[in-house]
Structure 1
């Protein structure tokens, strides 16, 4: 018997004001209605961005624009996946400014700090007292190297579907058998940063998932 936990709680807590910052419905749709996965994504986002804009700011202060660009790209993807549209727009503008050296980087950074803080504040409210999502049991026969898993993973990544992260977690043993440890780790690391383009590149390496 399973418990009725986080899913309904998060949606009920997401009032109109909260939805302007984090569109819970959009986020759940992006993971094909998997509310447990969405709750885990919210928790991961809150953990990953607990330092706010400081990692990007530190990279800029150190003159490492490539790192700042990569961090803004990852933030843009993560914000989009959880339905944080205003933050996604701000992060996208920053990424573009860093890529093109448009001179608007400082203005974008000024906009990023409050936008990110607002999202974290909303996540604190949405996740308050909500128990962690229950671990999904691996399906029977998951240890069998089923090549169909590869096709499913490829399809999810091509569609930017967050369920790819769930599949990587649930079918880790099978995917490791198909890809090998090194390639699996590379794909999983990219997917967990919401960098699906990089994950696809790793998955499609010649001789592996081509």
Structure 2
């Protein structure tokens, strides 16, 4: 466990949270590469922003082969990020569709419910804003460690790489925790004006002040 990640430990230990997405298991699956895992979570949310709608649409059209393929893909993606219950629900529906028994409505409903929970929790992990009434402990540090995230951003700025804009957008919630709103705004404004030197100065002042 990395220093300063106490709240993240609580998040991983919270039974409600861990049953929905087991962050610890997900990170272990990628050999401890927290940056890669964070990108996997963002990719999952982007790919499944419509939830189970594509599966429901396929079934409504009577296309069980397409529905089976979609559910099989979802099962694999859920397993990779540590969404174990969603993985199980997808597996149950996949089997029902493969056997073509026609008894899949209850399984589909269960999958939809679990998918909604996963997408809600991804909002917590990636954006830092919990949905109303969701009793979870928010992580107060980035999934990617402070030093690694700042080093990545610093390297992009040093190289005058426009990818710095992507990092600022994708990791805004994490950088808000690390840098504070005022500094993050200064860095963001400078990058948007392509003034990488000014952005580096603002970033360097914060890093030095925190001993990072």
Shorter chain as denominator, the TM-score bin is 0.5 to 0.7
Q: Hey, what does 2:17 align to over in structure 1?
A: 18
**Post-superposition offset of 1:13:** 4.0
Q: Mean Cα displacement is larger for which, 43-52 or 70-79?
A: 43-52
The TM-score normalised by the length of structure 1 is 0.56
- Partner Cα separation in structure 2 for residue 33 and residue 100 of structure 1: 38
Query: Whose Rg is larger?
Result: 2
- When residues 15 and 124 of structure 1 are mapped into structure 2, their CA distance, relative to the original with a 3 A threshold, is farther
**Post-superposition offset of 1:104:** 2.2
Q: Hey, what does 1:191 align to over in structure 2?
A: none
**Post-superposition offset of 1:61:** 1.1
Alignment partner of 2:62: what SS? coil
- Partner Cα separation in structure 2 for residue 76 and residue 123 of structure 1: 17
**Post-superposition offset of 1:9:** 7.7
Alignment partner of 2:51: what SS? coil
- When residues 102 and 11 of structure 1 are mapped into structure 2, their CA distance, relative to the original with a 3 A threshold, is farther
Q: Hey, what does 1:174 align to over in structure 2?
A: none
- Partner Cα separation in structure 1 for residue 62 and residue 107 of structure 2: 17
Q: Hey, what does 2:106 align to over in structure 1?
A: 107
Q: Number of aligned pairs?
A: 132
Q: Hey, what does 1:154 align to over in structure 2?
A: none
Q: Hey, what does 1:37 align to over in structure 2?
A: 36
- When residues 59 and 8 of structure 1 are mapped into structure 2, their CA distance, relative to the original with a 3 A threshold, is farther
Q: Hey, what does 1:203 align to over in structure 2?
A: none
Contact 1:14 1:126 in 2 (8 A): no
Contact 1:84 1:119 in 2 (8 A): yes
Q: Hey, what does 1:76 align to over in structure 2?
A: 75
The TM-score normalised by the length of structure 2 is 0.56
**Post-superposition offset of 1:131:** 7.4
1:60-209 to 2 correspondence within 5 Å? Answer: 60-129=59-128
Q: CA RMSD in A?
A: 2.6
- Partner Cα separation in structure 2 for residue 70 and residue 86 of structure 1: 19
Alignment partner of 2:32: what SS? coil
